[in-house]
Structure formats: structure tokens, C-alpha cells
């Protein structure tokens, strides 16, 4: 039996030297899932802030942060069908700040940056490749 392979656009990304994920950064279903997860996490961030603002007791704030962290990790781990939070964040709460944003947000923005970069690269290469084949077929 003859075999052939073709490019599916799947790319492997190593994140912070801690975990590797695979996805096609131009796949509309994957992109939709990523943005849906971002929206879900953003809503959880708003709820977290509101809950903390209503709380006056320090110990209760830590309990809220711990509970909310577990919720966020569950959503993030579902993104690529494998646990990514433990290797990326260890025991750090994903609401912790870095570069002015929660660390969960830094992760999501880095993923979205890959979508933007890879989509632009793919679009640039599409026309030239199609033109190459259409010239050959028009003869």
C-alpha cells in the first residue's frame, strides 16, 4: 500500500520550558475554544475581585483565592486536554500578578499571540503556493 503524508498545521509549543502543547494556531475551532476559555477566565477574574472586595477578613480572602485558583486551573487544564497548570505554575496561585497581569492572563495572551503570528505567516504563504500549482495546471 502506498502512503503519503500532508501538513495538518499542528504545531508543538514549549511553554516556559515546563510543558509542551500541540494545536493548529489557524484552526477556527481551536481559536474559538481558546477565546471561549479566555472569556470564561476573565469572568472568573471579575467574580474573584468582587468576592474579595466584599470580604473583610484576611483568612477568608486566602480561602477564596485558593478555591478560585482551583476553578481556574480546571479550566486551563481543559484547554489542551492535559494538565498544564502544575508544570507552569507549581503551587503559585494563578491569580498572582506578573508584569501587571494575573499569570493566567499572561499565559492566555501568549497563546493568542501565537495565533496571530502563525495566522499571518500562513496567509503570506498561501497565495504563492496556490499560484505555483495553478500555473502548472493551466498549461
Which residues, 6+ apart, have CB-to-CB distance to 111 below 8 Å?
A: 34
Instruction: Report the pLDDT value the prediction gives residue 55, as an integer from 0 to 100.
Output: 87
Instruction: Report the pLDDT value the prediction gives residue 139, as an integer from 0 to 100.
Output: 61
Per-residue pLDDT of 89-130, as tens digits, reads 999 999 999 999 999 999 999 999 999 988 888 777 666 767
Instruction: Report the pLDDT value the prediction gives residue 120, as an integer from 0 to 100.
Output: 82
Instruction: Report the pLDDT value the prediction gives residue 110, as an integer from 0 to 100.
Output: 97
Instruction: Report the pLDDT value the prediction gives residue 52, as an integer from 0 to 100.
Output: 93
Identify the bridge partners of residue 4 per DSSP, sorted by sequence position.
none
Instruction: Name which of 13, 9, 39 is nearest 26 in CA terms.
Output: 9
CB atoms within 10 A of CB 72: 22
Per-residue pLDDT of 6-58, as tens digits, reads 999 999 999 999 999 999 999 999 999 999 999 999 999 999 999 999 987 78
Amino acid at each position: 500500500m502506498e502512503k503519503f503524508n500532508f501538513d495538518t498545521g499542528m504545531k508543538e509549543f514549549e511553554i516556559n520550558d515546563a510543558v509542551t502543547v500541540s494545536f493548529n494556531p489557524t484552526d477556527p475551532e481551536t481559536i474559538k475554544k481558546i477565546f471561549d476559555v479566555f472569556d470564561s477566565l476573565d469572568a472568573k477574574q471579575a467574580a474573584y475581585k468582587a468576592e474579595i472586595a466584599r470580604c473583610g477578613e484576611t483568612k477568608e480572602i486566602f480561602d477564596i483565592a485558593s478555591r478560585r485558583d482551583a476553578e481556574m486551573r480546571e479550566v486551563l487544564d481543559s484547554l489542551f486536554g492535559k494538565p498544564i497548570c502544575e508544570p507552569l505554575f507549581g503551587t503559585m496561585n494563578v491569580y498572582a500578578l506578573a508584569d501587571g497581569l494575573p499569570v493566567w492572563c499572561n499565559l492566555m495572551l501568549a497563546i493568542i499571540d501565537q495565533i496571530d503570528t502563525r495566522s499571518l505567516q500562513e496567509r503570506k504563504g498561501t497565495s504563492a503556493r496556490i499560484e505555483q500549482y495553478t500555473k502548472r495546471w493551466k498549461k
